[in-house]
Amino acid sequence: MKTVDMIVKAKHIFTMEGEGVGYIENMAMVIDRGRIADFVPVDNVDESYTAEKTLELYNHAILPGFIDAHTHVDICIARGLAQDTKNWMFYGLQPFENAMGIDDTRASVKLGIMEAIKSGTTTIGEFSIGVEPTCEFVEKSGIRGIMTETVRSLKERIYNPGELYEFDENRGLRSLEENIAVYDKWNNRDNGRIKVLFGPQGADFLSKELLMRVRDEAKKRNTKVHMHLQQGDRETEQIMMRYRKRPVEWLQGLGYLDDTLIAVHLTDCTEEEAAMVAKSGAGMVVCPGSIGIIDGLVCPSVAFQNAGGYVALGSDQAPGNNCHNIFNEMKLAALFNKIKFGNPEIVPAWKVLRMATIEGAKAIGMGDEIGSLKCGKKADFIAVDLNKYTMQPVYTRPMRNIVPNLVYSARGDEVALSVVDGKVIYENGKIVNIDEVECLEEIKGRVEGISMRAEKEFNEIAGTNFVFMREGKL
Amino acid sequence: MKTVDMIVKAKHIFTMEGEGVGYIENMAMVIDRGRIADFVPVDNVDESYTAEKTLELYNHAILPGFIDAHTHVDICIARGLAQDTKNWMFYGLQPFENAMGIDDTRASVKLGIMEAIKSGTTTIGEFSIGVEPTCEFVEKSGIRGIMTETVRSLKERIYNPGELYEFDENRGLRSLEENIAVYDKWNNRDNGRIKVLFGPQGADFLSKELLMRVRDEAKKRNTKVHMHLQQGDRETEQIMMRYRKRPVEWLQGLGYLDDTLIAVHLTDCTEEEAAMVAKSGAGMVVCPGSIGIIDGLVCPSVAFQNAGGYVALGSDQAPGNNCHNIFNEMKLAALFNKIKFGNPEIVPAWKVLRMATIEGAKAIGMGDEIGSLKCGKKADFIAVDLNKYTMQPVYTRPMRNIVPNLVYSARGDEVALSVVDGKVIYENGKIVNIDEVECLEEIKGRVEGISMRAEKEFNEIAGTNFVFMREGKL
């Protein structure tokens, strides 16, 4: 008889091992020192193990926690303030982003991460200018964090359409130093629960020299480069003007595309370009909801997968998505591609669940540690309540409908339990390490200030949502 | 001082009157005898009215209840059993539909309607073969029901691709008689809360004579014809073979397109055909999630609207959507069209909220009774809890973000209260008139039988999901 930290007795476990969803039935998952130690038939487990905490989850589906590989939770406090508009960055987001200070950011990351935890995300890949407030809340909340500080040398001023960006190399170097400082302070915190990556914002925002330098710093530390790639026609235009090549082709020529890279969006990539990135060994993050709302586009994740690459899901940001909920991204990833290809068989439910778990883990280079339930891996998992209407009824034969309903019917509130590194971070509707009421009050307390500071610029820009307000449409 | 049934004191009310969302602030809505009697500033209402029930909903958005104008809740018990496949009807649904008996249908409608109520639907437009079990549960639950019995004379046998359907006129007449019997028994039940429509399944499933006869019966009773229209290339092919015209053109020639018609899907319609239907005065129902999953297509609701027509939303069915949740349809209606047109400004949040409420009401011919909050109209409304994370934070200036967050962020569990005809049908997480636990047990009790009866045909058809099961993908 061995004493362990936790035993999870379950009817339905989706391990995500193998080529599909790795379903096993009536098994107990044994957790010890933050890792999965064993799987034993439920009926026998008590003969071999005794635990501090035993969970009986017979009305639940147990699966790896979701990986939300690309987020900007630092602007979650602007949820719902920018969408339904062209030029989202300028007409939508800008007045509110400019109105935000550091205390707004602190409140913002809390909202985004709490929302993510409650909808089953156990790993969040944040990308911010000034990522430390997010590191702090990731540490406190218990979620796993893949943190990226933004590096860019863009000189901030208004650029006319077609005008080449100016670089300020000192500014760029300072942002790289900040990235290194965040790395030194936060990487491997709490037994490796927090990792720090390097974050060139995009090939158009840095000089070639700085772009290469960032990558060297990442490689030296054996960490990853997390970068937006060919994320719109503006980036393509900039790189064409500067180097006479399209971004993917140019980066390929520099030897920039390899397995150090996590490439986000690929919005303006052709299928051939997406395949080129995939074949380099780089991972991809696709953010269906965000790019659907912001650009009305479906990014080439299917071409990337067809070329052998791994694709993770990302919720991106709340002012233009408008949520941090991987259930939303799963459904949209499947449906958008069915529509893009006019084919209901494209991106089936099991494939998209793999993107949210094991394939997502591989895309961000953590496939050996998380993303599936396997002995030796970190114990990051969730339990989904099958008694919720959206998951009812449950069939196991001739066909199991649990995975289709996770992807197409579940909304997020079915998540009943969330565990990271073997520690419960969410249970019975409550985030364990967080005073949710206090956080929510803090968030509410920031609204008035942002409203006041944003008003002038919002009115001056006079974008789509300004017009909607004037016309009584909102 | 007047005594009324209910006073709803609120901070945010979206009346949906006018061209936008009709926002009013700090008002009390006065309800009496099932209808909206008055709007008074919150601070003054106690001077004029006293009520049996006063609700203080200052942390909520009050809006008209959602209209889900086209459903098949009678097959909700097959949720998640048919998707990710071509030829959904045959490869996906058929083995399970054939395995269902009347008791399965009874359980099924309960699941679908409970799910709808909990996510803010106050009017459901059911279309079934044998709609009476749904009528019974609609009556009991308190939701508003627009009930349609299916009329069709198709002789049931296997048809080869390209083979013309055979009709059995006696069978068709019997189904019409059933429709009339349902009308006589159920139309106008409970002070008009239940309405009965006439339901030719589609132009390809009935003889021309019966199609015209059904419509005459509807017109005679001053009710509507609720019909699938040009719902796929198979329908177009059948009508082309039989009449040498495409369905819309043929129906137009018959004088079938007019304001008696509620036309569903229009999947295979060109933009011109959709415009032709709109100009006739007919309403349209679009079911984004269902047709996205089943066909990988986006139906021409925008062309219909651009031609001046009104479009309602529908959740269609759970084995291939996989939910009855208008929040899902709102988000998908907006996003699918942004992608279809490559334009983030198409179908903004406020427009889609109008489709779920006032424009949906107009599309089904009930614009004078429901769909907006206006004195004299029926008191069908919901309260959405703005303290839920998905609705946070709340801004009122310089821009109100409540409607964008309702459409793009809310999932359905934010609905805190639902009222139909001035009667509370859902409150504090509980459906008032239903024993939810008992219903759920009934549903669970049907699974084993359906599984057993479906197995042989599921294996014989050997469709996509059969292959997925064999390969461990589900």
Tens-digit pLDDT profile for residues B15-24:
999 999 999 9
Q: Residue A309 has which token pair?
A: 């690459």
Q: Residue B428 has which token pair?
A: 């504090």
Residues 6+ apart with CB under 8 A from A410: A327, A384, A388, A390, A391
Q: Residue A384 has which token pair?
A: 């989904």
Q: Is the ipTM of this complex over 0.90?
A: yes
Sequential DSSP letters for B110-151: HHHHHHHHHTTEEEEEEEESS-HHHHHHHHHH--EEEEEEEE
Nearest CA in chain A to B392: A79
Kindly report the three-state secondary structure assignment for every residue of chain A: CEEEEEEEEEEEEECCCCCCCCEEEEEEEEEECCEEEEEEECCCHHHHEEEEEEEEEEEEEEEECEEEEEECHHHHHHCCCCCCCCCHHHHHHHHHHHCCCHHHHHHHHHHHHHHHHHCCEEEEEEEECCCHHHHHHHHHHCCEEEEEEEECCECCCCCCCCCCCCECHHHHHHHHHHHHHHHHHHCCHHHHCEEEEEEECECCCCCHHHHHHHHHHHHHCCCCEEEEECCCHHHHHHHHHHHCCCHHHHHHHCCCCCCCEEEEECCCCCHHHHHHHHHCCCEEEECHHHHHHHHCCCCCHHHHHHCCCCEEECCECCCCCCCCCHHHHHHHHHHHHHHHHCCCCCCCHHHHHHHHCHHHHHHCCCCCCCCCCCCCCECCEEEEECCCHHHCCCCCCCCCCHHHHHHHCCCCCCEEEEEECCEEEEECCEECCCCHHHHHHHHHHHHHHHHHHHHHHHHHHCCHHHHHHHCCCC
Which of chain B's residues have a Cβ under 8 Å away from the Cβ of A395? 80-81, 447, 450-451
Q: b vs e for B408-438, b when ≥16 Cβ sit within 10 Å of the residue's Cβ?
A: bbbbbbbbbbbbbbbbbbbeeeebebbeeee
Nearest to B21 by CA among A300, A17, A179, A468: A468
Closest by Cβ to A409, choosing from B322, B345, B473: B322
Using CA atoms, how far apart are residues A452 and A251, in angstroms rounded to an integer?
A: 43
Please write the tens of the pLDDT for every residue from B397-406: 999 999 999 9
Q: Nearest CA of chain A to the CA of B220: how many Å?
A: 39
Which of chain A's residues have a Cβ under 8 Å away from the Cβ of B468? 20, 348, 350
Q: Nearest CA of chain A to the CA of B403: how many Å?
A: 6
Using CA atoms, how far apart are residues B307 and A318, in angstroms rounded to an integer?
A: 34
pLDDT for A161 equals 81
The yes-or-no verdict on residue B381 having pLDDT over 90 is yes
pLDDT for B161 equals 81
Q: What is the mean pLDDT of chain B?
A: 97
The count of CB pairs under 8 A between chains A and B is 287
Q: Which helix (H) or strand (E) holds B3?
A: strand B2-14
Q: Residue A394 has which token pair?
A: 């449950």
DSSP 8-class letter at B472:
T
Nearest CA in chain B to A401: B80
Using CA atoms, how far apart are residues B81 and A301, in angstroms rounded to an integer?
A: 26
Closest by Cβ to A392, choosing from B111, B339, B348: B111
Please write the tens of the pLDDT for every residue from B320-357: 999 999 999 999 999 999 999 999 999 999 999 999 99
Please write the tens of the pLDDT for every residue from B85-102: 999 998 999 999 999 999
The yes-or-no verdict on residue B160 having pLDDT over 90 is no
Q: Residue B74 has which token pair?
A: 């009678």
Closest by Cβ to A335, choosing from B19, B332, B392: B332
Nearest to A400 by CA among B458, B443, B436, B116: B458
Which of chain A's residues have a Cβ under 8 Å away from the Cβ of B473? 19-21, 348, 350
How much is the average pLDDT of B371-396? 98
pLDDT for A159 equals 87
Interface test with A, best of B79, B109, B337, B451 (most A CBs within 10 A): B79
Which of chain A's residues have a Cβ under 8 Å away from the Cβ of B86? 343-345
pLDDT for B157 equals 85
The sign of the torsion formed by the CA atoms of A125, A127, A132, A136 equals negative
DSSP helix/strand/coil, B329: helix
The answer to whether B81 and B317 have CB atoms below 8 angstroms apart is: no
Q: b vs e for B193-221, b when ≥16 Cβ sit within 10 Å of the residue's Cβ?
A: bbbbbbbbbbbbbbeeebbebbbebbeee
pLDDT for B403 equals 98
Q: Nearest CA of chain B to the CA of A444: how many Å?
A: 6
Using CA atoms, how far apart are residues B338 and A332, in angstroms rounded to an integer?
A: 13
DSSP helix/strand/coil, B442: helix
pLDDT for B291 equals 98
Question: How large is the C-alpha radius of gyration of chain A?
Answer: 22
Q: What is the helix, strand, coil percentage profile of chain B, to 5? A: 40, 25, 35
Q: Which amino acid is at A382?
A: I
Closest by Cβ to B458, choosing from A88, A399, A400: A399
Using CA atoms, how far apart are residues B452 and A398, in angstroms rounded to an integer?
A: 8
Interface test with A, best of B347, B395, B443 (most A CBs within 10 A): B395
Closest by Cβ to B392, choosing from A85, A412, A440: A440
Give mean pLDDT in consecutive 10-residue pieces for chain A, a chain of 474 residues: 97 98 98 98 97 97 98 98 94 95 98 98 98 98 98 90 93 98 98 98 96 98 98 94 97 97 98 98 98 98 98 97 97 98 98 98 98 98 98 98 98 98 97 98 98 97 96 96
